[in-house]
Amino acid sequence: MKVLIVDGNEKSASDRYTELGMLTQYEVYKKVLENIADIELEIIVIHPANFNDFLPKGINLDDFDGIVWTGSVLNIYDYGPSIERQIDLAKNLFTKENKIFGSCWGLQVLATAAGGSVRKNPKGLEAVIAKNITLNERGNNHPMYKGKPKVFDSFCWHYDEIERLPNETLVLSSNDQSKVQSISFSKNQSKVWAVQYHPEFNPHWMSGLMDQRKKLLLDNNIFSTEEEYEKLHSFFTNIFQNHKLKNELSISDTLIVDEIHTIELKNWLEYLKSEI
């Protein structure tokens, strides 16, 4: 199968991950898709936030079985060329028959391009762990969540939330921080599955993100003390070595067991395969 990854970040944000010895968000996505796929994937990455001519020579948007949209440090209401190019790309994709999966920023771009809107969440930053995401009846019955527990935790980092949904959008899950944790909608012949959290992230990568953004986490009271931060950071750095912290920190298997926290992506790949 041929999959397109749309990188939501500008080059400066990706470079910062690289400088810290981390994978970029698009590299994380590429790696997890390759790890969970039971069919060979050909993956192409594009960077519309960086370039006007972001499609490699010889590549056409009609060439792909599925499209994935990554997270980003951008805020969609800031607009500007790097954001507007992505919204225009999504609108273009909606004129074709596509199957699209969006994470966090990806959800926000796709919802905006389909007629919805995004705002800064009045409840503030949701970061590191989105807790007690709960599937509603539609979520329970949606193919994205086949095999997923009804209540689960997931990695996350977002200041924003959906304010207005596109027409005929199904909300599939929510939690206390946001009424919209995942959605599904069709636009013309394109079908979108999108989540506000990050099923592609893993504990070790999240420990690097925590390192990068420690001050932000403490300033936003995501952790009440530096000791609380350090315990979770240590656990994520090496969950096997620090397994004794799991119960103390009330860490759910839905967060750290690969076969559970990546179910949405596994089911999306199965959906693509079934449509070939």
pLDDT for 193 equals 98
Mean per-residue pLDDT over the chain, rounded: 97
Taking the C-alpha atoms of residue 262 and residue 269, their distance in angstroms, rounded to an integer, is 11
% of the chain exceeding 70 in pLDDT:
100
Taking the C-alpha atoms of residue 156 and residue 118, their distance in angstroms, rounded to an integer, is 17
What residue spans define the domains of the chain? 2-202+256-275, 203-253
Amino acid 173 reads S
101 and 70 Cβ atoms separated by less than 8 Å: no
Taking the C-alpha atoms of residue 197 and residue 182, their distance in angstroms, rounded to an integer, is 8
Radius of gyration of the chain, Cα coordinates, nearest whole angstrom: 18
Eight-class DSSP state of 145: G
On the question of pLDDT at 234 being above 90, the answer is: yes
pLDDT for 276 equals 79
- Average pLDDT of span 111-130: 98
Q: What are phi and psi of 221, to 5 degrees?
A: 60, 30
- pTM value is 0.97
pLDDT-derived band at 119 (thresholds 50, 70, 90) equals very high
Q: Which residues contact 4 (CB under 8 A, 6 or more apart)?
A: 43, 44, 45, 46, 61, 63, 64, 66, 67, 68
More confident residue, 276 or 36: 36
- Average pLDDT of span 232-250: 95
> Residue 21, class by beta-carbon neighbours within 10 Å (0-12 exposed, 13-18 middle, 19+ buried)?
exposed
On the question of pLDDT at 260 being above 90, the answer is: yes
- Average pLDDT of span 266-271: 98
Taking the C-alpha atoms of residue 18 and residue 268, their distance in angstroms, rounded to an integer, is 28
- Average pLDDT of span 118-124: 97
On the question of pLDDT at 275 being above 90, the answer is: no
pLDDT for 45 equals 97
pLDDT for 176 equals 98
> In this structure, what token pair is assigned to residue 200?
């592609």
What are the pLDDT digits (tens) for 164-183? 999 999 999 999 999 999 99
9 and 70 Cβ atoms separated by less than 8 Å: yes
46 to 33, 76, 106, 231: CA distances (angstroms): 16, 19, 14, 37
% of the chain exceeding 90 in pLDDT:
99
Map residue 2 onto helix, strand or coil. Answer: strand
pLDDT for 16 equals 96
Number of neighbouring beta carbons within 10 Å of residue 242? 17
Q: Which residues contact 248 (CB under 8 A, 6 or more apart)?
A: 231
Amino acid 100 reads I
- Average pLDDT of span 42-62: 94
- Least Cα distance to 148 among 181, 107, 125 occurs for 181
CATH, domain range 2-202+256-275:
3.40.50.880
